[in-house]
Amino acid sequence: MELLKAMAADDYEQVIVMQNSATGLRGFIVIHDTNRGPAFGGVRIRAYANESEALEDGLRLARAMTYKAALAELPCGGGKAVIMEHAEMDRDEVFEAFGAVVESLRGRFFTARDVGIRDEDLAAIGRATSHVAIEPSAALGDVSEHTALGVWKGMRACLESAGIARPRVAVQGVGSVGMHLARILNREGAELILADADAGRAAGAAKELGARVSSPEEILFAECDVVSPCALGGVIHSEIVPRLRARIVCGCANNILATPEEGDALANRGILYAPDYLVNAGGLIRGVEFFLQGRSESRGSISKIYQRMKRVMELARERGISTARAADELAEQRWKRPAERPKKFRELPWSAPAWRKPAEPETGRLAQAGRFFRPPREQLIKQ
Ligand code: NAD
């Protein structure tokens, strides 16, 4: 991949390459856009086949975060961190080293849990930076649970529009978010079919919720009302769309569609697609409201995903386009328009005016920001 060309094509701001031989840290932090505020994005760890695969994943995911933030009208931009899992790494030290890189960005990038991340990884990151959503945390709450709540709000808007009262939902992946979503759906009276690459996890979830288990391969083709991809992205691709039997696709996973064309293909088949970055914004909303606005509760803001989903369906109908394209249009209108930023971030040195005009480099804000900066962490009270 020609990195700079790829970055220019979608106007990425920065890619930070992380390599640390002592710990085995190998990976990237991708910052897509900080026009509206600092970049927020989870950290993911996977056994990527090679560094191009990891970088491509990071680039795609960071851009989607910008769209997610814009559509949710949040004062932040999009970023993502991807770490390559390999046999020689010391996991605890890798995450602490990664935290040190995050810290060096002085609030330009905030991170949280994504695929493959365990509680102890978050704790290790938290030893080096406070720009991480450490879970469990009494003050912050469970980010994945907030994500699942938002997905449910979006799914409810879809179900109402399709006139489905008691849905059958097929959930692919019952990890952090998928399991929370399955529990909410169970409480709301849905009939559940579950699958996970980890057969034991699927069996445990099914036992807890009285659900049926399907295989990870077959779950997408289950006879049901809603297919809910809650594992990895790219699962809805050209060979899958014709075989779907559900009327709605609505899940927690990021980048569910392999390409934007799948959004059109779903619409052509009359399958309602809930744009992933619209419905799975609950965790981001919680993180931004906690870190930037100091709010103790975000459920009200997350509930607005219901109205946003309705607005996107309306726009898609009015314009005769897919819901995927309608969401992209709304997000693109917003992400180039700077949001009202909290003052402390506007003043940090990444902002263009500070780069261009270092008025008093010896004694001014730039010089201060150059020192090791450790923001207060008393709000992050571990349970
Ligand atoms: P996780 O690692 O906790 O869970 C993923 C689960 O999917 C695991 O149980 C894994 O075994 C399973 N899985 C993997 N491949 C599968 C397959 N082919 N079929 C069935 N199951 C499979 O990750 P998570 O935090 O729950 O994230 C899941 C998805 O949701 C990711 O795409 C992530 O980017 C997205 N997401 C998560 C959050 C959040 O708050 N955690 C927020 C927004 C989006």
User: Contact 82/28 with Cβ under 8 angstroms?
Assistant: yes
Ligand 1, atom 30, lies closest to the CA of 253
Round to whole Å and give the CA distance between 194 and 192. Answer: 6
Could you list the active site residues? 80
pLDDT average, residue stretch 160-180: 97
Q: Looking at the CA of residue 146, tell me the nearest atom of ligand 1.
A: 40
The confidence score (pLDDT) of residue 135 equals 84
Mention the CATH class of domain 1-67+76-134+347-383.
alpha beta
More confident residue, 344 or 180: 180
DSSP 382: B
User: Contact 220/169 with Cβ under 8 angstroms?
Assistant: no
| Token output for 301 | 């803001």
Q: Mind listing the pLDDT tens digit for each residue in 210-237? A: 999 999 989 999 999 999 999 989 999 9
Instruction: Report how far apart the first and last C-alpha atoms of the chain are (Å, whole number).
Output: 44
Q: Mind listing the pLDDT tens digit for each residue in 27-37? A: 999 999 988 88
Predicted confidence (pLDDT) at residue 362 exceeds the cutoff of 90: no
**What ranges do the domains of the chain cover?**
1-67+76-134+347-383, 143-335
pLDDT average, residue stretch 59-72: 95
Is the beta carbon of 204 within 6 A of some atom in ligand 1? no
More confident residue, 1 or 104: 104
Is the beta carbon of 177 within 6 A of some atom in ligand 1? yes
Q: Mind listing the pLDDT tens digit for each residue in 120-137? A: 999 999 999 999 999 878
Mention the CATH class of domain 143-335.
alpha beta
Q: Mind listing the pLDDT tens digit for each residue in 257-290? A: 999 999 999 999 999 999 999 999 999 999 999 9
Query: Which residue type sits at 20?
Result: N
Q: Give percent helix, percent strand, percent coil of the chain, each to the nearest 5.
A: 45, 15, 40
The confidence score (pLDDT) of residue 14 equals 94
For all residues of the chain together, what is the average pLDDT? 89
Is the beta carbon of 201 within 6 A of some atom in ligand 1? yes
Common-topology check for domains 1-67+76-134+347-383 and 143-335: yes
